């Protein structure tokens, strides 16, 4: 047999063997040959949604840290004391309100804010450092700064751009001092000269004037990275009673508020306002309980949150005023009414004993179930988001560099223009 014949026969034998082996493989039983639809296929895992950093921080905070964020406090002394340090380091206080009693000059103001920040380094959130700087009647900046006139004059000049510049300059000088939150502007509509508390501090007597100039002041402040806090919701204009000494009762119904007092607030909400001061004002035709707005769920929840869709911080006027603490409710009852009503932050501008008592009241109320921790979380989450939005920090301020933005000629030129224009309206 030739070699070629031998190889050919061997090739045929291999083919035969392979065919037998393949026939011996077991067929699959009941194999489903229906195509797999996308809905039946295994889902591809999606990357997790980006976590909310504010929510993450909130979940890391303990109860004491959360409660501390609900207070902005002041102190009576010229310099911060060991009690001030304790409020920061032990009570995790959310912020401070400064008065001229706390510093003598610009350098002293910067040294003060730096001291407060240094004590706060170990806390989860930077401090609100706040002030009342409206210009004119209510001014807290040192004398070296640019001292603007009352808002009423800006309303009379009626140049919104000039009001914007005033707000921006005030913001720059506050930022130079270390202040990051300003309880201004006044959005009350004041027609009567009998309202001695606010006649000069309000931009005018009509909703239109107050809305236009209030909004421009806010925009100027926020351009300078200072949080503007308009006040005194829902409107302190139509009364001659000073809430420092008694509780004003304003006999305005919902229709009147919609046509007057609420217009400036509504306009600023539409443009983006992240904090608001509520006044100690009773509106019996709206809330028959006669409670001041700072204790009223009807005004804060129903009107402010629901009807006006306001989602920012609700901050009280100073609760040591008679219109809040001088009423029949005791302090504990008042604080609980305010929290249930919707308050996020209490301003307590003077007394250390009152400040620590409020912290204790809130803590005990959470522990015994009179206030849920979820309710506290709602307020603290707003605080965190506001502080994050404005990139608040406890970074120290260089006094020499900061002085280059305080009381400078560029700022004084805006003041001189206001003075020049004011001669035409008097």
Q: Catalytic site residues?
A: 244, 317
Q: Is residue 299 exposed (0-12), middle (13-18) or buried (19+ Cβ within 10 Å)?
A: buried
DSSP 350: S
Radius of gyration, alpha carbons of the chain:
32
Rounded CA gap, 367 and 345, in Å? 19
Write out the H or E segment, with its range, that includes residue 333.
helix 331-341
Q: CA dist 392 to 108, 126, 181, 196, 395, Å?
A: 21, 6, 10, 36, 9
Taking the C-alpha atoms of residue 103 and residue 111, their distance in angstroms, rounded to an integer, is 9
Angle at 342 between CA 340 and CA 345, to 5 degrees: 110
d(CA 318, CA 247): 13
Q: Which residues contact 103 (CB under 8 A, 6 or more apart)?
A: 78, 109, 111, 112, 142
Three-state helix/strand/coil letters over 364-375 = HHHHCCCCCHHH
Nearest to 170 by CA among 198, 136, 204, 203: 136
Q: What φ, ψ does residue 265 adopt, rounded to 5°?
A: -65, -45
Q: How far apart are the first and last CA of the chain?
A: 133
Q: In 10 A of CB 111, how many CB atoms?
A: 16
- Closest by CA position to 91, among listed 74, 112, 70, 76: 70
Q: For residue 333, what are the β-bridge partners?
A: none
Which runs of consecutive H residues, i.e. helices, occur in 201-280?
207-223, 254-259, 262-271
Dihedral pair phi/psi, residue 110, rounded to 5°: -65, -40
In whole angstroms, give the CA distance from residue 84 to residue 75. 7
Q: What is the DSSP letter of 108?
A: H
């Amino acid at each position: 047999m030739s070699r070629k014949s031998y190889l050919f026969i061997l090739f045929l034998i291999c083919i035969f063997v392979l065919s037998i082996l393949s026939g011996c493989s077991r067929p699959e039983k009941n194999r489903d040959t229906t195509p797999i639809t996308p809905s039946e296929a295994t889902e591809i895992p999606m990357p997790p949604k980006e976590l909310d950093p504010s929510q993450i921080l909130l979940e890391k905070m303990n109860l004491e840290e959360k409660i501390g964020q609900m207070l902005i406090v002041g102190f009576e002394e010229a310099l911060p004391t060991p009690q001030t340090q304790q409020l920061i380091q032990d009570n995790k206080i959310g912020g401070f309100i400064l008065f001229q009693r706390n510093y003598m000059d610009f350098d002293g103001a910067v040294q003060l804010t730096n001291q407060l920040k240094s004590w706060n380094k170990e806390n989860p959130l930077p401090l609100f450092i706040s002030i009342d700087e409206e210009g004119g009647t209510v001014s807290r900046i040192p004398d070296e700064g640019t001292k603007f006139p009352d808002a009423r004059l800006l309303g009379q000049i009626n140049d919104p751009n000039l009001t914007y510049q005033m707000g921006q300059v005030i913001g720059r000088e506050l930022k130079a001092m270390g202040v990051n939150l300003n309880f201004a502007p006044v959005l009350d509509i004041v027609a009567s000269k009998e309202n001695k508390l606010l006649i000069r501090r309000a931009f005018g007597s009509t909703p239109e004037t107050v809305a236009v100039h209030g909004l421009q002041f806010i925009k100027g402040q926020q351009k300078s990275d200072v949080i503007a806090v308009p006040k005194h919701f829902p409107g302190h204009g139509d009364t001659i009673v000073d809430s420092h000494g008694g509780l004003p009762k304003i006999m305005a119904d919902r229709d009147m508020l919609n046509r007057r007092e609420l217009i400036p607030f509504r306009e600023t909400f539409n443009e983006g306002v992240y904090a608001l001061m509520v006044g100690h004002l009773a509106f019996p035709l709206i809330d028959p309980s006669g409670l001041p707005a700072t204790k009223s769920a009807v005004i804060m929840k129903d009107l402010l949150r629901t009807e006006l869709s306001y989602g920012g911080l609700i901050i009280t006027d100073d609760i040591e005023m008679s219109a809040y603490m001088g009423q029949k409710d005791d302090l504990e009852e008042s604080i609980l009414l305010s929290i249930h009503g919707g308050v996020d932050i209490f301003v307590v501008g003077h007394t250390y004993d009152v400040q620590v008592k409020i912290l204790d009241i809130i803590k005990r109320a959470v522990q015994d179930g009179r206030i849920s921790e979820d309710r506290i979380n709602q307020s603290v989450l707003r605080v965190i988001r506001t502080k994050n939005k404005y990139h608040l920090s406890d970074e120290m301020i260089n006094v020499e560099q900061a002085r280059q933005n305080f009381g400078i000629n560029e700022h004084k030129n805006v003041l001189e223009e206001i003075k020049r224009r004011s001669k035409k309206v008097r």
